[in-house]
Amino acid sequence: MSAPRPATILIVEDDLETASVFRQMLQFHGYRVEVAHGSAQAMLKLNRQLPDLVLLDIMMPDVSGLEVCRYLRRDPQTADLPVVIVSAKTQGEDIAEGLEAGATAYLTKPVSMEQLLYHVQAALSGSAY
């Protein structure tokens, strides 16, 4: 019997350093990781192959991560795809807007490795938290 396939996570983050840190953290814990540097690149990757989870920044130069999240929720193929927002926008109204857009979870930067892994694992397992 073969081992289960590791979950694939698409990181959508325009900051190269942040994307690299998230990629290393997640790969170290056994996840397959794809990176999209901006919303347009994310949409291309999502149209080619769906990941198991999207780690999504909000503030990007092309299209807001909130718009990406809303788009994913409107499409029947991605309506249930776990989306974890990780953003520097930390105000209560920002968090509420992210959750209203359909995010599974909303984390604020800086985020610890433990916090990121907890929310990724919870979102992938479908646990309520």
Per-residue pLDDT of the chain (129 residues; tens, 9 = 90+): 556 779 999 999 999 999 999 999 999 999 999 999 999 999 999 999 999 999 999 999 889 999 999 999 999 999 999 999 999 999 999 999 999 999 999 999 999 999 999 999 999 998 755
Provide the whole-model pTM.
Answer: 0.94
> What's the domain count of the chain?
1
Whether 1 is in a domain gets the answer: no
- CATH number of the domain that 51 lies in? 3.40.50.2300
| DSSP category for residue 123 | H
Whether 42 is in a domain gets the answer: yes
Question: Which residue segment(s) compose the domain that 83 sits in?
Answer: 8-125
Decide: helix, strand or coil at residue 98.
helix
Token pair belonging to 63:
């299209």
Whether 3 is in a domain gets the answer: no
Residue 126's pLDDT is 87
Largest CA distance in the chain: 48
Whether 2 is in a domain gets the answer: no
